[in-house]
A and B are shown apart, each in its own frame.
Chain A
């Protein structure tokens, strides 16, 4: 990919090789960086998952002791949420938003680079914790071990004296800064930088979902930030926000965590819903069915996601009034989700489906995400959740939505847009192996977990006795997990081989509908030689086809379409933001400060100075080369 991206850059590049990546402010390169970094974290989180599954494959195993098990499942969850699915969504937002709205970059390119470096360093910071628990070669893992939602007071110093939880709270704090900066950047970009004629209701649905996601980010991250600050004060300065021994009610933590946590799950899924809403029309060669319904249901989800958080606390004893209210709101949030499913099916209906890998994944998304939505409804029926809460049934539910949903959508998106950013098509044949292995592995892994939950297996247990009817299902889930691992290997091989000798893609290999397909693959640094003027939804499609009177489109006479997408060399006259190292320097200050909180306060001013140098350099840097 590096090669292809290098070709994409114009002449006059001040930095080369790795330096051009460290200093880049180009949204496409930053998108690639996000994607690659998140994928590496995905491999780490995946290995953690395989280790967990090995430990649970059979009853009474002791491959891992409880300390190791607890660290590994915590890091698995934290990694997959904060370092994989979120940043993969952001990777697509970076790559696509400017191209889809006809802009040359995001509103604040250097802030964008800053977001990425902060995310990367935050992720590394979090994982460094593994090495801080003594001798890692003796299996002493220093990683946090209180679960991804870290319920107080277990996270208080009295019960978690090591530094693991410190790494967790400070790491998430750092990642939150990246998300906040990204959220603001995307909102301003979408609201201010659209090409002429692209009104809000002509934006691709992916851009709409990104906008909703960005708003959720900027409102949700502060909530978790406050919770983490309070925990930080408790742990480092003996405050008593969650210290039950000093009279605190630890339910406060649960409210704050889930007030962030539920919007967070939509932050994870909405970009994937956007991706699917782009893939389906292209491959069925029909417009999205009911664009306004899909958009408004996305907005509705955005609002409603703030009113359901206590469904994670049905068994916390909030009382019948709260449980009834949140039961109803949760039952109702499945309506806008269901609307989307039917609209997607109607998009496919009557189409001429070109069965390529992206469409496989998008249809897989519909089929698997539906299962997750339906299990969600079964635990919105509050008394039934009293049984399901904190069991493998819940584990099944959120993997159905996050893996069967978000990740299937993301893989579809990779197959779909890979040619745009590399100029090479991924192998469709390998792609189908990738898809089927993943689909089978996914179902083998997570559907047995529903049975396990119904059979009374709680989540987060390091081992279990035999004789409860769980053995068989656990073994099945482990086999499934390794099947998924094989599918990921196939994917990696596909990327590797396709980058080297993949079929050349051309500008518009899928005969697609949105603006990014009107420019070369890979796109030039400035994206558009001439900023397009937009006349309708799916503007690029309408440049290629006109709709006949019976609704059947006919191609525009040859030549006309090409004329609108001139690949001239006007690029030389276009002013682009210059590369800068300062975002990276500024970002480096944050983990230094965080280490300071854990090991020695003397490091904190060092971190502050690095941050300040970065920010001042950034502010004083001349605007162009």
Chain B
């Protein structure tokens, strides 16, 4: 091998060693993370994570297969010095090719079943008894209104901008409206995103398992202030939530009011 070839090889080995060290160091930083989609805190994000993991294992297997074959081929069939031979001219093998067309198709068809079940489960309308929150997005903030909780004048109470309060362990029915351009509502630990589109009211149900403070962020590019369009979801125990609602002026609550008909919703995940 030429001297320059040796340098190239050394540089490569060095780079790979460095990459390994860096990766291990980096892995330490993954643990935790307030917007970690792989550490869900509710059934919706949980289901999404499960489907991701369901797909990622067969994908990882295919990855190992293909990359393994690439490495094997390169080492096994690389030209040896002085070998000018011409290999056997294989033009194909229809049976084999049909096999590697049909096998992935079957594998994917199997994967499709839980995917579709997930689409249906996550896209359904919120249940009747769910705590309703009307979410409005405008450039560049979030507003939350609680139609089931009304103050003395009969107006729904609202939470401060960019701060949604919800009770833990209860299904929440979210309705989305945009006051201007398209935004996207995203609380990674509770649920994947849903676009907030003018004239296209979307809905989504979510549920938080435990009280806590969850971080959310607008996920559709919406102009100058997009990066700063962050919000918090404060999940409280039902008692704390009821107390909070009172403190916001609620006099009518779902338990006191006769249940109103559910708003008609279009679209949804």
Contact = CB atoms under 8 A, between A and B. Distances in A.
B226 interface: yes
B87 A377 contact: no
B192 A389 contact: yes
Given A315-B269, A338-B104, A370 B115 contact: no
Given A151-B221, A378-B56, A352 B33 contact: no
Given A341-B66, A390-B221, A458-B217, 20 more contacts: A153-B181, A154-B221, A249-B197, A250-B200, A293-B101, A324-B116, A327-B116, A338-B62, A349-B77, A363-B74, A370-B62, A383-B119, A383-B122, A386-B122, A387-B52, A389-B219, A390-B193, A451-B26, A469-B31, A469-B36
A381 interface: yes
Interface stretch (B141-149, B154-162, B183-191, B241-249): B183-191
Given A352-B77, A386-B191, A432 B8 contact: yes
Interface of A: 66-67, 70, 146-147, 151, 153-154, 159-160, 244-245, 247-251, 284-287, 289-293, 314-320, 323-324, 327-328, 331-332, 334-335, 338-339, 341-343, 345-346, 348-355, 363, 366-367, 370-371, 374-375, 377-378, 381-391, 429, 432-433, 436, 440, 443-444, 448, 451, 453-464, 467-469, 471-473, 476, 545, 547, 550-553
A317 B198 CA distance: 12
Interface size class of B (residues with CB under 8 A): 35 or more
B79 A383 contact: no
A78 B204 CA distance: 33
Given A317-B200, A353-B73, A366-B66, A154 B225 contact: no
B91 A335 contact: no
Interface stretch (B105-113, B128-136, B232-240, B253-261): B105-113
Contacts of A552: 86-89
Nearest 7 A/B pairs, CB to CB: A386-B192, A456-B35, A317-B267, A244-B198, A317-B202, A469-B33, A290-B92
A351 B87 contact: yes
B223 to A, nearest CB: 6
B55 interface: yes
Nearest to B230: A465
Contacts of B115: 327, 331, 381-383
A455 B56 contact: no
13 contacts: A159-B180, A286-B87, A290-B97, A315-B192, A316-B202, A335-B105, A386-B192, A387-B193, A391-B219, A429-B5, A456-B188, A472-B29, A547-B89
Contacts of B191: 386
A384 B59 CA distance: 14
Contact of A473 (B26, B70, B198): B26
B197 A454 contact: no
A303 B1 CA distance: 49
B90 interface: yes
Most chain A CB within a 10 A radius of its CB, from B30, B51, B92: B92
A440 B188 contact: no
Nearest to B268: A317
B73 A287 contact: no
Nearest to A366: B70
Most buried by A among B8, B34, B90, B119: B119
Contacts of B79: 352-355
A555 to B, nearest CB: 8
Contacts of B170: none
A472 B86 CA distance: 49
B136 to A, nearest CB: 14
B134 to A, nearest CB: 15
Contacts of A384: 48-49, 51-52, 55
A432 B6 CA distance: 13
B233 to A, nearest CB: 13
Nearest to A393: B37
Contacts of B62: 338, 370, 374
B222 interface: yes
B220 interface: yes
A371 B73 CA distance: 18
Contact of A289 (B4, B45, B92, B203): B92
B101 A335 contact: yes
A595 to B, nearest CB: 26
B88 A390 contact: no
A292 B97 CA distance: 10
Nearest to B217: A458
Interface of B: 4-5, 8, 11-12, 15, 19, 22, 25-26, 29-38, 45, 47-49, 51-52, 54-56, 59, 62-63, 66-67, 69-70, 73-74, 77-79, 83, 85-94, 96-97, 100-101, 104-105, 108, 111-112, 115-116, 118-120, 122-124, 139, 178, 180-182, 184, 186, 188, 191-195, 197-200, 202-203, 215, 217-227, 266-269
Most B CB contacts (10 A, CB to CB) among A328, A386, A456 go to A386
B38, B77, B86, B215, most chain A CB atoms within 10 A: B86
Contacts of A374: 59, 62-63
A370 B178 CA distance: 39
B16 to A, nearest CB: 8
A433 to B, nearest CB: 7
B51 A349 contact: no
Given A348-B77, A455-B37, A316 B197 contact: yes
Contacts of A285: 86-87
B199 A382 contact: no
Given A153-B180, A345-B66, A378-B56, A332 B105 contact: yes
A151 B220 contact: yes
B225 to A, nearest CB: 7
B30 A147 contact: no
A433 B8 contact: yes
Given A153-B180, A154-B182, A324-B119, A553 B221 contact: no
Given A290-B97, A391-B219, A250 B198 contact: yes
Contacts of B118: 381-383
Contacts of A436: 8, 11-12, 15
Nearest to B114: A381
Given A366-B70, A436-B8, A468-B33, A247 B199 contact: yes
Nearest to A537: B91
A477 to B, nearest CB: 11
A317 B195 contact: yes
Contact of B77 (A332, A350, A460, A545): A350
Given A146-B221, A250-B197, A363 B70 contact: yes
Nearest to B73: A348
A373 B233 CA distance: 35
Contacts of B200: 249-251, 316-317
Contact of A353 (B78, B123, B178): B78
A317 B197 contact: yes
B66 A553 contact: no
B119 A352 contact: no
Contact of B90 (A247, A389, A457, A551): A551
Contacts of A324: 116, 119-120
Given A153-B198, A339-B101, A455-B37, A553 B120 contact: no
Given A317-B200, A323-B123, A386 B92 contact: no
B11 to A, nearest CB: 8
Contact of A244 (B59, B108, B199): B199
Given A286-B90, A455-B33, A476 B22 contact: yes
Contact of B199 (A248, A316, A327, A331): A248
B70 to A, nearest CB: 5
B222 A250 contact: no
B77 A463 contact: no
Contact of B186 (A160, A318, A458): A458
A440 B66 contact: no
B198 A342 contact: no
Given A454-B38, A455-B30, A464 B227 contact: yes
Nearest to B61: A374
Nearest to B105: A335
